[in-house]
């Protein structure tokens, strides 16, 4: 039964009668106290805000914010599920990705793909492999359509073709042992662009070394001859024109981390 207005009014009046009250004098005391406490809290808030802004910078952001990035990384790393796939899309939904960055590609607009070699290094820095594009293309090819996401916010459905990184790393199981390494550090041939990525993300079944975009060989602006493509990281980690892959137990330098971004950049 719905309550009538009368019943409702009575109920509210009872509530009002049962509500504690203060005399005006008591209220004044309380008011003074509240203003003091509130004012102190507001000042503490302002001081805290200034404190954050004035921390020494760690890789281009106040250190406390870098700590927050690391907290988030520590929180999400154990939650990363190796077998949990990003949604895939129908091929018809995908199209050519816009070119959004040319770091590491500027020195030479085009390189000689036949002369290009992928330099692979082990944990102690020694070369453990060298591959031509044909060598890489001889590995089992996969293709899927996923949403590519930029840290700037935009996303684009795109089809990549290549070899999963885990299949590639399998070639070096003898060098690396079953557990692999903690990080994989990747550089462009000119060393102008570089990323480092956690092992779990590299081993994700949708992380690949790609040589095809939309079924066509990569063009230079998109990272020919070989680039990283993965739906578990933002585009800033998906390095174009890979020159060196270093399996390492040390976190290598990261281009965008040093410019204030989160190293983990996970999705």
Decide whether 59 or 182 has the Cβ nearer to other proteins: 59
- Report in angstroms how near the CB of residue 171 gets to other proteins at its nearest: 26
Q: Where are the beta strands (DSSP E) in 48-154?
A: 57-58, 61-62, 118-121, 127-131, 142-149
Select 6 or 54, whichever has its Cβ closest to other proteins: 6
Q: State the nearest-atom distance from the C-beta of 34 to other proteins, in Å.
A: 4
For the bound state, the minimum distance from the C-beta of residue 72 to other proteins, rounded and expressed in Å, comes to: 6
Between the alpha carbon of residue 135 and those of residues 2, 132, 138, 140, 197, the distances in Å are 77, 5, 5, 11, 23
Which residue, 84 or 106, has its beta carbon nearer to other proteins? 84
In the complex, minimum distance from the CB of residue 158 to other proteins, in angstroms, rounded to a whole number = 13
Closer residue to other proteins in complex, CB, 16/134: 16
Distances in Å between the Cα of 8 and the Cα atoms of 21, 210, 246 are 22, 68, 73
Residues with Cβ within 8 Å of 137's Cβ and at least 6 positions away in sequence, in order, are 163, 211
Contacting positions for other proteins (CB under 8 A): 2-3, 5-6, 8-24, 26-27, 30-31, 34-35, 38, 41, 45, 60-62, 64-66, 68-69, 72, 76, 79-81, 84-87, 147, 149-155, 231-232, 256, 259-262, 266-267
8 Å CB contact between 199 and 208: no
Measured from the CB of residue 163, what is the shortest distance to other proteins in angstroms? 20
29 versus 138: smaller Cβ distance to other proteins: 29
Cα–Cα distance measured from residue 197 to residue 240, given in angstroms and rounded to the nearest whole number: 14
Query: Smallest Cα–Cα separation from 68: which of 267, 252, 231, 261?
Result: 261
């Amino acid at each position: 039964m719905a309550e009538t207005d009368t019943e409702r009014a009575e109920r509210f009046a009872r509530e009002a009668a049962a509500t504690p009250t203060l005399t005006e004098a008591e209220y004044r005391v309380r008011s003074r106290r509240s203003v003091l406490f509130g004012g102190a809290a507001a000042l503490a808030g302002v001081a805290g805000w200034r404190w954050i802004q004035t921390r020494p910078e760690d890789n281009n952001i106040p250190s406390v914010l870098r700590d927050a990035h690391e907290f988030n990384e520590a929180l999400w790393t154990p939650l990363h599920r190796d077998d949990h796939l990003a949604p895939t899309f129908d091929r018809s939904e995908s199209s050519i990705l816009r070119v959004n960055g040319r770091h590491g590609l500027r020195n030479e607009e085009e390189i000689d793909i036949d002369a290009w070699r992928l330099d692979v290094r082990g944990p102690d820095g020694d070369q453990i492999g060298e591959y031509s594009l044909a060598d890489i293309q001889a590995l089992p090819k996969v293709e899927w359509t996923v949403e590519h996401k930029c840290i700037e916010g935009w996303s684009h459905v795109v089809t990549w073709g290549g070899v999963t990184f885990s299949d590639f790393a399998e070639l070096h199981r003898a060098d690396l042992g079953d557990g692999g390494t903690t990080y994989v550090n990747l550089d462009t041939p000119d060393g102008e662009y570089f990323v480092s990525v956690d092992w779990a993300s590299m081993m994700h079944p949708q992380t690949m070394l790609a040589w095809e975009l939309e079924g066509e060989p990569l063009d230079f602006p998109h990272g020919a001859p070989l680039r990283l493509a993965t739906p578990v990281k933002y585009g800033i980690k998906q390095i174009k024109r890979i020159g060196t892959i270093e399996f390492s137990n040390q976190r290598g330098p990261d281009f965008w981390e040093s410019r204030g971004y989160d190293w983990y950049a996970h999705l």
